C-alpha cells in the first residue's frame, strides 16, 4: 500500500474540500501507510498523545544550516549564491553542541549559498551517522529537477524539499506544470515540501496544498509574519484547515526589529490553529554556538509555549519531529 495516497493528483470541489481532506488523512492513518517520515502516518493527535511519555522527551532541532565556509575548496559556494557566510558551522561542531547540550537529533536544511549542489549536505549527513537528516534545495523549473529529487532521495536520508518564495528574483514557477509535478513527486517519495515564503505569495500556493493532500507541507519560520501584512499572513493561518500542513516555530522575530510587532499573539494564533501536534521547533545552532547555548535555546522556546502543558511542549520540542521524520525514540 506504499504511496497509495500520493500516486494520483486529486482536484476537489470547494464545498467538499474540508470533508475530503479529513477523510483522506483519517483513512490513510487507519491503514498505517509507512513512509520516510516514520510510521504510522503522521496526523493523528490521538496517536501522538497516546505514545509513551518517553517518546516525547527527545529534543530535535528541525531547522539548522551548516556551512563549510569560504576557504574549504571541497565545498565551494555556488557562483549564483545570494549570500556567502564568512563563518563555518560544521557537522562536527554541530554534533559536539548536540552532545554537550543534550539535543538528540537535527535536520540540516541545505542552504542557498550552495544552490542545488548537494555535496556539502551529503557530507554533513554522512558525518551525522543517523542523528542528522536533511532538506534539499532543487529548482523545479530546471529540466532535471524531478530526476535530481529522485536520485537524492534514494541516496540521502532526506525529509523534505525546500521551495523558496521569498523575493521577486527567487520565486518558483507558479501555476506551472513543472511545479505541480515536483510537488506531486515529493509526495510520492514520502518527502514534505518545506515552504519558505513571504506571506504575499501564500495564495499562489493554495491550489497545490489543496490538490495534493498526500504531500505534507512544512511552513518555515511561522510563515514569516513580519514580512507581510496581517491579512496576507491570515492565508497561512487558514492553511491549518488542511491536515497535511505543519508549522515551524523558528526564526522568531524580535519586536526590537522592524516592523516592531510583538510575535507572541501570532504564535498563540498559530498554536491554536495548528495544534501542538503539528508544530515543530527549530533554532539555536550556529558556528558560534556551544552546548550550553544550544540547550538554552530550547529552554527559552518554552516561554513561547507557556499556554501548553509540559507534554504538549515536549511534542513541539522533539516528539513531533521524531515521529514525523522517523528518528528513533
Asked whether residue 80 carries a pLDDT value surpassing 70, the answer given is: yes
Q: pLDDT by residue (tens digit) across 144-167?
A: 999 999 999 999 999 999 999 998
Asked whether residue 13 carries a pLDDT value surpassing 80, the answer given is: no
pLDDT of residue 39: 38
- What's the whole-number mean pLDDT along residues 257-275? 96
- What's the whole-number mean pLDDT along residues 285-293? 98
Asked whether residue 300 carries a pLDDT value surpassing 50, the answer given is: yes
Residue 15: pLDDT band (50, 70, 90) is: very low
pLDDT of residue 170: 86
pLDDT of residue 169: 85
- What whole-number percentage of the chain has pLDDT above 90? 81
Q: pLDDT by residue (tens digit) across 114-143?
A: 999 999 999 999 999 999 999 999 999 999
pLDDT of residue 23: 43
- What's the whole-number mean pLDDT along residues 49-71? 78
- What's the whole-number mean pLDDT along residues 47-67? 71
Q: pLDDT by residue (tens digit) across 86-117?
A: 999 999 999 999 999 999 999 999 999 999 99
Cell of residue 9, nine digits: 493528483
pLDDT of residue 71: 96
pLDDT of residue 28: 38
- The fold of the 14-325 domain, in CATH, is TIM Barrel (3.20.20)
> What is the domain partition of the chain in residue ranges?
14-325
Residue 9: pLDDT band (50, 70, 90) is: very low
- What whole-number percentage of the chain has pLDDT above 70? 83
Average pLDDT over the chain, rounded to an integer: 87
Amino acid at each position: 500500500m506504499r504511496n497509495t495516497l500520493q500516486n494520483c493528483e486529486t482536484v476537489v470541489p470547494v464545498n467538499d474540500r474540508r470533508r475530503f481532506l479529513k477523510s483522506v488523512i483519517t483513512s490513510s492513518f487507519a491503514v498505517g501507510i509507512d513512509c520516510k517520515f516514520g510510521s504510522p502516518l503522521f496526523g493523528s493527535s490521538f496517536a501522538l498523545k497516546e505514545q509513551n511519555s518517553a517518546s516525547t522527551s527527545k529534543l530535535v532541532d528541525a531547522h539548522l544550516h551548516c556551512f563549510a565556509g569560504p576557504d574549504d575548496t571541497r565545498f565551494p559556494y555556488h557562483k549564483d549564491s545570494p549570500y556567502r557566510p564568512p563563518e563555518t558551522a560544521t557537522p562536527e561542531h554541530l554534533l559536539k553542541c548536540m552532545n554537550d547540550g543534550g539535543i538528540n537529533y537535527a535536520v540540516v536544511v541545505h542552504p542557498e549559498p550552495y544552490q542545488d549542489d548537494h555535496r556539502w549536505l551529503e557530507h554533513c549527513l554522512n558525518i551525522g551517522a543517523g542523528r542528522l537528516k536533511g532538506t534539499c534545495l532543487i529548482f523545479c523549473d530546471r529540466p532535471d529537477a524531478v530526476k535530481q529529487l529522485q536520485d537524492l532521495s534514494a541516496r540521502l536520508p532526506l525529509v523534505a524539499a525546500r521551495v523558496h518564495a521569498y523575493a521577486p528574483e527567487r520565486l518558483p514557477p507558479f501555476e506551472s506544470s513543472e511545479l505541480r509535478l515536483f510537488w506531486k513527486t515529493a509526495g510520492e517519495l514520502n518527502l514534505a515540501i518545506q515552504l519558505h515564503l513571504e506571506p504575499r505569495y501564500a495564495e499562489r500556493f493554495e491550489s497545490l496544498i489543496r490538490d495534493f493532500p498526500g504531500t505534507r507541507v512544512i511552513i518555515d519560520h511561522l510563515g514569516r509574519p513580519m514580512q507581510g501584512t496581517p491579512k496576507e499572513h491570515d492565508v497561512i493561518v487558514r492553511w491549518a484547515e488542511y491536515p497535511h500542513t505543519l508549522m515551524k516555530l523558528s526564526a522568531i522575530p524580535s519586536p526590537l526589529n522592524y516592523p516592531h510587532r510583538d510575535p507572541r499573539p501570532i504564535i498563540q494564533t498559530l498554536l491554536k490553529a495548528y495544534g501542538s501536534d503539528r508544530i515543530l521547533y527549530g533554532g539555536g545552532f550556529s558556528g558560534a554556538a556551544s552546548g550550553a547555548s544550544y540547550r538554552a535555546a530550547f529552554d527559552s522556546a518554552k516561554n513561547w509555549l507557556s499556554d501548553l502543558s509540559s507534554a504538549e511542549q515536549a511534542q513541539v520540542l522533539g516528539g513531533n519531529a521524531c515521529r514525523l521524520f522517523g528518528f528513533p525514540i
